[in-house]
């Protein structure tokens, strides 16, 4: 069975991780790249033996590919995805797949109506460690306390402080800390506990209208989950999920690194001992499996829609707006 042929949109580090994971799983073959800068496209493709480079997205969609992996700015995800669906291509779209729940819902509907697979590349919920943690809720009983944290000092923040606003801090591109960083703890929270009954949040808004960091409380009937995220400060301590007789800690939510469990005060041990170097392999395997089986990605899209609807509420509460409409 030949691997699925993929066209890649975007040449940043996340596309590197995608290609490396494809080579590991062998389920998807990166075969062409679309970049507005052909030289940059050739440089990127050369690392993975990709020789077919496009600077025109429509031309790439006309090539012999099965799917498109979209990793360009957030505001362009849905426009690029819908163009691919119209040309009969499956779509794996980097997180967040959309900037709001309404546009995600409509794109999922279009994909399903066309018999195509559209899926958000949210590595956290595809990682088997997330399902392991979910299973512990049944094993150890109710969760008594939970705090999900992801703070990552952006490599572009120094430039921002020096007066240079790069894409990563440009709200017109659909960027915000909750979109780029906060979506990880939000997605894991809703995967584990479902849609909250209430959300209370606050955000730090920078001088150009960009949300630099934020905090939220997701309230359930018998549990408040505290969520914290930031692009302007570094991680301080792990995330924690506490049961009566056990505690799970997570070192880094996006990659699910250093997930440890301690039972009745014992020394913490890894919840899973054998781990891949890059947990993107799980989302790639799930996506390729859905394409090959002829199924939709309904289960995964339901998680994505719940998470982005919670992000919508955080944005509403804190006046987080994107100056330019999707597409350009």
CATH number at residue 36: 3.40.50.720
Per-residue CA distances from 205 to 70, 74, 96, 163, 318 (Å):
28, 19, 20, 16, 9
- 11-to-14, 15, 18 alpha-carbon distances in Å: 8, 6, 10
Within-domain flag for 18? yes
Mean predicted confidence (pLDDT) in 238-249 = 96
Give residue for tokens 């939709």: 296
Residue 22 lies in a domain: yes
* Cβ neighbours of 129 (radius 10 Å): 21
Same domain, 132 and 276: yes
Residue 94: phi and psi, rounded to 5, are -55, 155
Question: What pLDDT is stored for residue 149 in this prediction?
Answer: 97
Domain of residue 114, residue span: 4-120
pLDDT of res. 265: 87
Q: Last residue of some domain: 120, 148, 170? A: 120
**Nearest residue to 2 via CA among 49, 64, 83:** 64
For 131-168, the pLDDT digits (tens) are 999 999 989 989 999 999 999 999 999 999 999 999 99
Q: Are 69 and 9 a contacting pair, CB within 8 Å?
A: yes
Asked whether residue 85 is domain-assigned, the answer is yes
Query: Do 159 and 70 reside in the same domain of the chain?
Result: no
- Number of structural domains in the chain: 2
Average pLDDT over residues 254-271: 95
d(CA 287, CA 283): 6
Closest C-alpha to 59, from 29, 34, 79: 34
Residue 203 resides in a domain: yes
328 band by pLDDT with thresholds 50, 70 and 90: very low
In terms of domains, do 112 and 178 share one?
Answer: no
- Spatial distance between the Cα atoms of 173 and 154, rounded to a whole number of angstroms: 16
User: Are 135 and 275 members of one domain?
Assistant: yes
List C-alpha distances in Å: 133 to 127, 151, 238: 10, 21, 15
- State the average pLDDT for the chain: 95
pLDDT for the residue numbered 324? 52
Among candidate residues 94, 120, 146, the one where a domain is terminated? 120
275 and 132 part of one domain:
yes
Q: Which of 120, 147, 168 is the last residue of a domain?
A: 120
pLDDT of residue 296: 83
């Amino acid at each position: 069975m030949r691997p699925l042929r993929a066209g890649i949109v975007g040449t940043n580090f996340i596309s590197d991780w995608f290609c490396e994971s494809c080579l590991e799983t062998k389920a998807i073959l990166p075969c062409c790249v679309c970049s507005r800068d052909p030289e940059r496209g050739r440089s990127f493709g050369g690392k993975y033996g990709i020789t077919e480079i496009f600077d025109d997205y429509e031309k790439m969609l006309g090539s012999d590919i099965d799917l498109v992996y979209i990793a360009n700015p957030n505001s362009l995800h849905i426009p690029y995805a819908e163009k691919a669906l119209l040309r009969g291509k499956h779509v794996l779209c980097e997180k967040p797949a959309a900037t709001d729940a309404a546009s995600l819902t409509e794109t999922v509907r279009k994909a399903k109506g066309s018999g195509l697979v559209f899926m958000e590349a949210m590595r956290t919920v595809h990682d088997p460690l997330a399902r392991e943690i979910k299973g512990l809720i049944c094993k150890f009983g109710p969760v008594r306390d939970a705090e999900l944290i992801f703070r990552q000092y952006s490599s572009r923040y120094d430039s921002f402080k020096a007066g240079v606003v790069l894409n990563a801090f440009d709200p017109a591109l659909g960027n915000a800390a909750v979109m780029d960083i906060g979506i990880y703890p939000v997605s894991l929270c809703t995967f584990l506990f479902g849609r909250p009954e209430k959300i209370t949040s606050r955000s730090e808004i920078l001088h150009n209208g960009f949300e630099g960091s934020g905090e939220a409380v997701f309230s359930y009937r018998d549990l408040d989950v505290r969520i914290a995220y930031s692009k302007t400060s570094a991680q301080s301590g792990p995330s924690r999920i506490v049961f009566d007789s056990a505690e799970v800690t997570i070192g880094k939510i996006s990659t699910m690194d250093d997930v440890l469990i301690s039972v009745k005060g014992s020394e913490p041990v890894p919840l899973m001992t054998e781990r891949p170097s890059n947990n993107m392999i799980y989302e790639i395997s799930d996506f390729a499996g859905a394409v090959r089986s002829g199924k939709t990605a309904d289960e995964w899209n339901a998680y994505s829609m719940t998470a982005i609807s919670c992000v919508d509420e955080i944005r509403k509460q804190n006046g987080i707006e994107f100056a330019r409409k999707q597409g350009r």
